[in-house]
Chain A
C-alpha cells in the first residue's frame, strides 16, 4: 500500500515508509518540543508532491504561523490555512489565507436565529461544531473549485479545541465525532495534542491510528529533543527513541547512533548553542516577569494595552530567534509596567471579610 511521507527523512524510515493514507494520527509532546514544526513538514511534503493541503490553526493566528514558517525559508504559499483561532482578528487579506473570520460570523448569526441555541451550553458546543462545519465547507468548496480533494490536513491543536468544548459531559463524544469526521474526509490527518495528564486517558490518543510522541528535556545547559512512535496501527515500525534537532532547515531525526540520546557531550557547535541557550533563558525570564506584572496590572485595572502589544512584538522577535531585539522590547515593557504599577493607586486591602448585612 502507498505510504504518506512526512517529509522528515529519519521519521519516514521509522514509520516504515510513512503513514497509512486516509487516517488520523496524533503528534503529542510538551510545549516547544517541535509538534508544530513536524506538522509543517508534513504539509510541506504534501505541497512538494502537488497535493492539496489544509492547515486548521486554533492556537496561532495564520499571520504568526506564516512568520514562523518563514524562518525556515519554506515556501508554503499554496498552503490553505483555516483560521479557527478563537479571537477573530482583522488580519490583512492574503491570497492563501481563507478568511473564515467572516464565515464564522455568518455561522454565529445563523445560530442566533435558532432559538434552541440560546442557552450557554449550546453556545459552547457550537464552537467545536463550527470548526467542523468550516472544515467541511472548505473541503467541499475546494472540491468544487479544483476537482481535487484535500490529501493532507493538520489540526493545530486539539488541546485548543478541547478548551472550546466544555470540560466534562460531552467532550469525549465531541472528540470521537470530530475524529470520525476527519476519518470520513479520507485525508491523512495530523492532530497536534499536548498530553496534559499522564494518568488520564485522552480520547484522541486511543482513537488516533498512531501516535508520534515528542520528548524535550534539559541536559546540562542544552535543550534536547527526541521523538518516538508509541503506536502505529497496521504497520511495523521502529520503536526506538531517536534524537531530533530543529535547525535552519527544519526538523531532522538522527537515526544513528541511538546512544546520542543519553550522551552528555553536546554535539555540533557547543559554544554557539550554549550561548543561544543562555540568551533564550534570559529573554524568557524577562518575558515571564513582564507577564506577571501584566497580571498584576489587570487585577488592579491599570490600562496597559500598549504594553501588551509591545510584548507580543517581543514574542514574535523571540520566535524568529532575534533575541537581541526581543530582549530590548521586553526590557522596555518591564520598566514601563513597573512605573505604571507604582503610579497607580494602591490595591484594595485583601483579607478583609465582607461585612455581614445589617438586619434591622
Chain B
C-alpha cells in the first residue's frame, strides 16, 4: 500500500503492508501531520475511503493549514475527537460517549466548534474505540490516521493505566484489519515509547538545527514482515508536501 510519498515508498520497499498499524514519530514541528495527510490523499486518489481522527487541533484549523498544499481532500472523513473545555464539576465518569459522526472535509467551517454551556464531551479511549468500531463496520475505511496517539494517551486515559490502555488500543487497531497511521509526539531528547514496540513499523522524523536553519530527516526505524532501507534521508516540506531527497545522508543521532 503506497504512502503517497515517492521517497518513502522506496525506503519501505514498496509501501506499507495493508491492514496493520504503523507509527510516524517525531518532535513537534517535524511534519508528522503533513506526512499523515499525504498518506490519506494517496488513498483518496485511488478512491479509497479514508478517516482522519483529530485529537490535537480542531478540524477547522486543519482545513486552513492544508489549504496551502492545494490537495483535494473534499471526500476525506474527519472525526473531531478533541475534548471540550473541561467542566470542573466532580464527574469521575470517564466513559463518556462522543456520539459524533465524522464530517466531510468540504463541509468543515472556518470557525472552531464551541463547547456547549451545559455539557461538555470528554473523549475517553474507550468511547473513541467504540466509535471507531461502529464507523469501521458502517463505512469500511481503508486508511485511518490518528493524530496523535500521544494526545490520546495524555488526555483520554488515566495515567496509571496508560501503557496497558495504549496496548489494548493498538491491539484493537491490528484486529480491525484497517491500515492505520498513528502519529507520536517525541520530546527533543527521545526515549523509547511503548507505542514503538507495539506498531508493525515506525517511520521517524528527525528535526535538527544548525546555522542554516532546521534540517529534517526521515528514517524507517522498524518494519515487520518486509525488508526496508536503513539509511537516513533528508527531506523538505514544499508546496507539494513532503519531498524526500534520495541521496543518503550520514545517520543522525536519535
Q: Which residues of A contact B (CB under 8 A)?
A: 1, 20, 22-23, 116, 122, 125-126, 129, 132, 168-169, 172-174, 176-177, 180-181, 183-184, 186, 198-201, 203, 205-209, 211, 228, 230-236, 238-241, 258-259, 261-262
Q: Are A183 and B112 in contact (CB under 8 A)?
A: yes
* A181-B85, A184-B85 known; A228 vs B209 contact (CB < 8 Å): yes
Task: Give the distance to chain B from A263, nearest Cβ to Cβ, in Å.
Answer: 12
Q: Complex formed: what's the CA distance from A233 to B83 in Å?
A: 20
B61, B90, B151, B209: which contacts A23 (Cβ < 8 A)?
Answer: B61
Q: What chain B residues lie within 8 Å of A258 (beta carbons)? A: 211
Q: What chain B residues lie within 8 Å of A261 (beta carbons)? A: 211
B223 within 8 A of A: no
Q: What chain B residues lie within 8 Å of A199 (beta carbons)? A: 187-189, 191
Q: Are A206 and B185 in contact (CB under 8 A)?
A: yes
Q: Are B211 and A180 in contact (CB under 8 A)?
A: no
Q: Which residues of B contact A (CB under 8 A)?
A: 28-29, 33, 56-58, 61, 64-68, 82-86, 88-90, 111-112, 114-115, 148, 150-151, 154-155, 158-159, 185-189, 191, 209, 211-214
Q: Complex formed: what's the CA distance from A257 to B112 in Å?
A: 40
* Chain B interface, DSSP helix/strand/loop, else mixed: loop
Q: Complex formed: what's the CA distance from A226 to B17 in Å?
A: 45
Q: Are B65 and A201 in contact (CB under 8 A)?
A: no
A172, A176, A184, A233: which contacts B65 (Cβ < 8 A)?
Answer: A233
Q: Are B148 and A20 in contact (CB under 8 A)?
A: no
Q: Complex formed: what's the CA distance from A184 to B209 in Å?
A: 33
Q: Complex formed: what's the CA distance from A134 to B211 in Å?
A: 43
* A176-B154, A186-B111 known; A1 vs B85 contact (CB < 8 Å): no
Question: Which 3 pairs, one residue from A and one from B, show the smallest C-beta to C-beta distance?
Answer: A231-B29, A234-B65, A177-B86
* A173-B86, A233-B57 known; A211 vs B187 contact (CB < 8 Å): no
Q: Complex formed: what's the CA distance from A129 to B191 in Å?
A: 32
Q: Are A184 and B112 in contact (CB under 8 A)?
A: yes
* A176-B83, A180-B115, A206-B148 known; A234 vs B68 contact (CB < 8 Å): yes
Q: Complex formed: what's the CA distance from A22 to B114 in Å?
A: 13
Closest to B185 in A: A206
Q: Are B115 and A241 in contact (CB under 8 A)?
A: no
Q: Are A201 and B189 in contact (CB under 8 A)?
A: no
* Chain A interface, DSSP helix/strand/loop, else mixed: mixed
Q: Are A173 and B155 in contact (CB under 8 A)?
A: yes
A126, A186, A208: which contacts B112 (Cβ < 8 A)?
Answer: A186
Q: Are B84 and A180 in contact (CB under 8 A)?
A: yes
Q: Are A126 and B88 in contact (CB under 8 A)?
A: yes
Closest to B238 in A: A236
Q: Are A241 and B64 in contact (CB under 8 A)?
A: no
Q: Are A180 and B82 in contact (CB under 8 A)?
A: yes
* A180-B83, A241-B209 known; A234 vs B187 contact (CB < 8 Å): no
Q: Are B28 and A205 in contact (CB under 8 A)?
A: yes
Task: Give the distance to chain B from A4, nearest Cβ to Cβ, in Å.
Answer: 14
B61, B83, B154: which contacts A203 (Cβ < 8 A)?
Answer: B154
Q: Complex formed: what's the CA distance from A186 to B185 in Å?
A: 25
Closest to A181 in B: B85
Q: What chain B residues lie within 8 Å of A126 (beta carbons)? A: 88
- Residue with the greatest number of chain B CB neighbours at <10 A, chosen from A176, A211, A238: A176
A129, A180, A201, A209: which contacts B186 (Cβ < 8 A)?
Answer: A201
23 A-B contacts, Cβ less than 8 Å apart? A20-B64, A125-B88, A172-B155, A173-B83, A173-B86, A176-B151, A177-B85, A198-B189, A199-B187, A199-B189, A200-B187, A201-B150, A206-B150, A208-B28, A230-B28, A234-B61, A234-B65, A234-B66, A234-B67, A239-B209, A239-B214, A241-B213, A258-B211
Q: Are A201 and B185 in contact (CB under 8 A)?
A: yes
Task: Give the distance to chain A from B196, nearest Cβ to Cβ, in Å.
Answer: 14
Given pairs A199-B188, A201-B186, A258-B211, 10 additional interface contacts (CB within 8 A): A20-B64, A176-B86, A180-B115, A183-B58, A207-B151, A208-B28, A211-B28, A228-B209, A233-B57, A234-B64
A168, A173, A203, A230: which contacts B29 (Cβ < 8 A)?
Answer: A230
